[in-house]
Amino acid sequence: MAVPDVRVAPSLLAADFARLAEEVRAVEAAGADWLHLDVMDGHFVPNITFGPQLVGAVKRVATRPLDVHLMIAPADPYLAAFAEAGADLITVHPEASPHLHRTLQAIRALGCRAGVALNPATPISAVKWVLDSIDLILAMTVNPGFGGQAFLEAQLPKIAALRRLIESSGRAIALEVDGGVTAETGRRAREAGADVLVAGTAVFGASDYAAAIAALKAPLTVAA
């Protein structure tokens, strides 16, 4: 299996919110490809973060695409607000809507790319029949809700299976991994087939953002 090129999406949840504009500019200068924004409602996941207003504030200073991950239920009533705030890609969970296909259609109708996030226990079959409406699949390698958790190694075979599903579909679908991503776990996720890495503390907890992002993008040596 060919190893795809990797993009890094620093998670702003780990940034210093008192200096958010500076943090955005710093990670972009350091080589970030996307900016990842985790929206949590205290209902679908046991934490509360931020809403469309903060996404709009980031949009005013960002030059990279905004990758907005909605960990909220229901998601449908808020899609338009996040699109209007400046989201370039909106990712939802299958469990957050009774009609996933309709939700994905609505995201695309708003002019955004559409993603589906799979929690560790969510089966791959949740996306099998909507691949024609997906631009990204997000494999969660922690249970969503909090940053700083340990990478779940048992998700690596799932990432590999998702890569095979994407390749068999012939579609240009990104495969993103989020949760406990470091240079080491990111390398294993990439070897399994991931091509987008979300990293929070691995970037914002580092003294040198550019070095941290470069470590996540380090070339892989894969046996033929």
- Tens of pLDDT, residue by residue over 55-75, are 999 999 999 999 999 999 999
| pLDDT at 222 (0 to 100) | 57
d(CA 102, CA 189): 30
Q: Is residue 221 part of a domain?
A: no
147 is in an annotated binding site: yes
SS3 1: coil
Using the predicted structure, report yes or no on whether residue 9 has a pLDDT greater than 90: yes
| Model confidence at 2: pLDDT above 80 | no
33 is in an annotated binding site: no
CATH of the domain at 106: 3.20.20.70
180-223 pLDDT tens trace: 999 999 999 999 999 999 999 999 999 999 999 999 999 987 55
Q: How far apart are CA 151 and CA 153, in angstroms?
A: 6
In a domain, 1, yes or no: no
Query: What is the domain count for the chain?
Result: 1
pLDDT one-digit tens code per residue, 139-164: 999 988 777 778 999 999 999 999 99
Mean pLDDT of all residues in 16-33:
98
Cα-flanking dihedrals φ and ψ of residue 9, to 5°? -120, 90
Count of CB atoms situated within 10 Å of the CB of 149: 15
Range of the domain at 207: 7-216
Using 50, 70 and 90 to split pLDDT, how confident is the model at 21? very high
200 appears as a binding residue in the annotation: no
Establish if 57 belongs to a structural domain.
yes
> Is 148 known to sit in a ligand binding site?
yes
pTM of the model: 0.94
70, two tokens? 């909605």
Determine whether the annotation assigns residue 179 to a binding site. yes
Report if residue 2 sits inside a domain. no
What pLDDT, on a 0 to 100 scale, did the predictor assign at position 146? 74
Q: Binding site annotation covers 145?
A: yes
Structure tokens given for 127:
């996306």
Mean pLDDT of the chain: 95
Per-residue confidence (pLDDT) for residue 224, from 0 to 100: 46
Q: What distance in Å separates the CA atoms of residue 198 and residue 216, rounded to the nearest whole number?
A: 10
Any domain includes 222: no
Q: Considering the domain boundaries, does residue 223 fall inside one?
A: no
Strand order in the sheet with 174-178: 7-10, 196-199, 174-178, 136-140, 113-118, 89-92, 66-71, 35-40
Active site residues: 38, 178
91 within domain boundaries: yes
Q: Which of 42, 40, 62 is nearest to 50 (CA)?
A: 40
- Whether residue 94 lies inside any domain: the answer is yes
